[in-house]
A and B are shown apart, each in its own frame.
Chain A
Amino acid sequence: MFEILEKERIAPKEYDMWINAPRVVNHVKPGQFVVIRTHKKGERIPLTVADFDRENGKIRLIFQAVGKTTYEMAAMKVGDSFSDVVGPLGTPSEIKKHGTVLMIGGGVGIAALFPIIRGLKQMGNKVITILGGRTSDLVIMKKECAEYSDEMIITTDDGSEGIKGVVTDGMKAVVNRGDHVDYAWAIGPTIMMKFSALTAKDLGIPIWVSLNPIMVDGTGMCGACRVTVNGNIKFACVDGPEFDGHGVSWDELMARLKQYKDQEKISLEKYLSEVGETSWL
């Protein structure tokens, strides 16, 4: 059922796929995700729905190969199928007229940010987008984001494109030149979201972040995904994944993401010993 219809490598270790998922596509909204399993012995992993095509019943997933399951996905071909795709899960983003919104994306988080950018633009917001990465090639979806942004700012660590620096430098530049920002969104690596939230706090901007804790069911049945926000325990899969960035206990989240570090290493090494060479990634 969940056939891979298109697949493209968009950056080293980063892939863009369209999957046949007619049930998911009907109700999906920006900010939501699916949980997938590649095969019957596989792990359930959450991936954001980066885009969707209701007419043709397909959803778009953009992912980075970081471990066993995402390596396996990267090795799958057009015509192969995932054994399971369930969704749309999570609470959708608050797409409404805010005024001016500052959209901050990094890594594959840009994929999750894209449908929110589009939604906010279609609601009539002024959209300023900041995309960051180590180097120009790793900043994905520039063209698509630009299409729905009033302004695009790129930041790269090595200065190969745009501002030499990190996304928070872009945030400060926007505010320092006198722009008023009503709301911000930051989606990317946890450390990037943490510092974007801290910077937004200094700049007096409310900010949404999309948290990526380890999940199992994705429907509120296990509590694996719990995070602390404003001192309360929340289940990211149902109460989120978007939360008030100023209230997140970041260090706790980062510690929880390392919960299975040792096992993840065993799993990936076993996989690599079975498939051999992976320089094609």
Chain B
Amino acid sequence: MALKIPNNKTPIAEQKPQERIHNFKEVVLGYTLEEAITEANRCLQCPTHPCVSGCPVGIDIPGFILQLRENNLEKSHEILKSYNNLPAVCGRVCPQESQCEGVCTVGVMKDHEPVAIGKLERFVADWNASHGNESISEKANSKKGKVAVVGSGPSGLTVAADLAKKGYEVSVFEAFHEAGGVLMYGIPEFRLPKSIVEREINSIRKLGVNIETNVVVGKTLTIEELRNDYDAIFIGTGAGTPRFMNNPGTNLNGVYSASEFLTRINFMHSYEFPEYDTPIRVGKRVVVVGAGNVAMDASRSALRLGAEKSMIVYRRSEKEMPARVEEYHHAMQEGIEFHWLTNPIEYIGDENGNVTGVKCIKMKLGEPDASGRRRPIPIEGSEFTIEADMVIEAIGQTSNKVLLNTFPELKLNKRGYIEADPKTGKTSVEGVYAGGDIVTGAATVILAMGAGKAAAQAIDEYISSKKKA
């Protein structure tokens, strides 16, 4: 029986690399219904279904695939939605290779690729958006209690949706002018079209959730005000503040954090300048520092803006690279140049303060460090310079302190993130819950959603027991 399963995933339509490097449209075009059913047939419906435990929110994967195979798309979507409020997003951006698909029984078989679970999830969610009739949920009422959610990234949106469904009055406060968190201002249009995020957010609004933008909690509203007005608070403010390596020359013109570069492009639409007002510099030779998803996004965005050469420098080797496999493949296809075992040590500028080059040093790998990966060590005397007119640092983020500085009672961990119980999101302050990147440090969309789900459950229990007492 196993022999009947095609070895490879059903191919999916993509924009050709030579075309797509000139536009910001989505790279992966998605399955047709026929292709999706063909792929669904590769699933064994295996009784152990390890994929389910590989999924951080435990989606009934064989269940939704079975319904898809039988062409019951509405039912398939219902199953997905009951576990995951943002399936069109997760299908596109989850690191499936290290989750569901990484443990799929088919993928374990010799010479076989796993079932393309992510692509199927995306298919079902997109199909529903264009065909399905939006299920009309009952509007929230304030009978069960009032909850304030700070931040509208995947963790906050999940808490809001789950609690609204349970009958709570939920207000989400977002600092930016639009909701969605990193889904809107970080992950580029060519991977996650903003119309899809907006669609998902609208469906959450329809549940009766009130989302107020332009509110920075800690500045516009204080935590005390929220504690007085709401029965519980969820903090999902993300890991928003960019880190810099602090190399000499960091403040030269043309040196960006990936956060700024991507926010200008995705959120402020500077790739459509001057139709949109926010400008961006266009680098001809661009060096991106780091090799995670953020670095891939930055280097591929630079190419689309018009870079002649877009390079990634990374102090470790290809093996340690943290990016999703799909993003790496796409970056390679698009001609991004990779410089492994290379670390920038200085940015060189001209007399007008514009960056002109990146001084780098070669690295070698030593003993494993705390992260279990081999520690990169500089090779003395191996310095060399890469000519560049733009540098984008994508070396990670830390917690944003705007809210935390105004809330000293809230206990933080050693790394400066909020200390919260991983099972419930409970923090050191009664009635205050937290989840997502502000607890774990920069992680993934699905982990943030999982934390949101757990917190919604715990908040419901907390408020219910308090009201009974």
Contacts and interface: CB of A to CB of B under 8 A. Distances in A.
B251 interface: yes
Nearest to A213: B251
A24 B221 CA distance: 9
A223 B268 contact: no
Contacts of B220: 23-24, 26-27, 86-88
Nearest to B259: A222
Contact of A259 (B240, B246, B253, B273): B253
A233 B175 contact: no
A96 interface: no
B219 A27 contact: yes
Interface in B243-297: 244, 246, 250-251, 253, 256-257, 259-260, 263-264, 268-269, 273-281
Interface stretch (B99-107, B113-121, B208-216, B452-460): B208-216
A217 to B, nearest CB: 7
A42 B277 contact: yes
Interface in B182-220: 213-216, 219-220
Contact of A27 (B222, B277, B401): B222
B242 interface: yes
Contacts of B213: 84
A263 B281 CA distance: 8
B176 to A, nearest CB: 7
A217 B175 contact: yes
Contact of A217 (B251, B263, B274): B263
A223 B253 contact: no
A216 B262 CA distance: 11
User: Interface size bucket, B side?
Assistant: 35 or more
Given A216-B263, A224-B260, A255 B253 contact: yes
B353 interface: yes
B143 interface: no
Given A86-B214, A223-B257, A255-B353, A41 B276 contact: yes
A223 B260 contact: yes
B402 A219 contact: yes
Contact of B219 (A87, A252, A270): A87
Contacts of A270: 274
Nearest to A259: B253
Contact of A222 (B219, B260, B273, B277): B260
A267 B277 contact: yes
Interface in A225-281: 226-228, 233, 235, 238, 249, 251-252, 255-256, 258-260, 263-264, 266-267, 270
A125 B246 CA distance: 40
Contacts of B402: 219-220, 238
A85 B240 CA distance: 20
A233 B240 CA distance: 17
Contact of A216 (B222, B250, B264): B264
B272 to A, nearest CB: 8
A168 interface: no
Contacts of A42: 277
Interface string B116-159: 00000000000000000000000000000000000000000000
Contacts of B269: 41
A220 B400 contact: yes
B102 to A, nearest CB: 32
Contacts of B251: 226-228, 233, 249, 252, 256
Given A217-B176, A259-B281, A222 B257 contact: yes
A89 B219 contact: yes
A187 to B, nearest CB: 21
Contact of B177 (A83, A235, A256): A83
A223 B246 CA distance: 12
B177 A86 contact: yes
Interface string A80-109: 000111111100000000000000000000
A69 interface: yes
Contacts of A226: 244, 250-251
A37 interface: yes
B241 interface: yes
A114 to B, nearest CB: 21
A224 B274 CA distance: 20
A73 B256 CA distance: 29
Given A220-B402, A222-B259, 11 more contacts: A89-B216, A216-B268, A217-B176, A219-B216, A226-B250, A228-B251, A238-B402, A252-B353, A258-B352, A263-B280, A266-B274
23 contacts: A23-B214, A24-B220, A37-B177, A43-B278, A68-B277, A87-B220, A89-B219, A216-B263, A216-B264, A216-B268, A217-B175, A220-B241, A221-B263, A223-B244, A226-B250, A233-B250, A235-B241, A255-B353, A256-B251, A256-B353, A259-B281, A263-B279, A270-B274
Interface of B: 175-177, 213-216, 219-222, 240-242, 244, 246, 250-251, 253, 256-257, 259-260, 263-264, 268-269, 273-281, 352-353, 400-402
A-B pairs with lowest CB-CB distance, top 4: A255-B353, A263-B279, A222-B260, A43-B277
Interface of A: 23-24, 26-27, 37, 41-44, 68-69, 83-89, 216-217, 219-224, 226-228, 233, 235, 238, 249, 251-252, 255-256, 258-260, 263-264, 266-267, 270
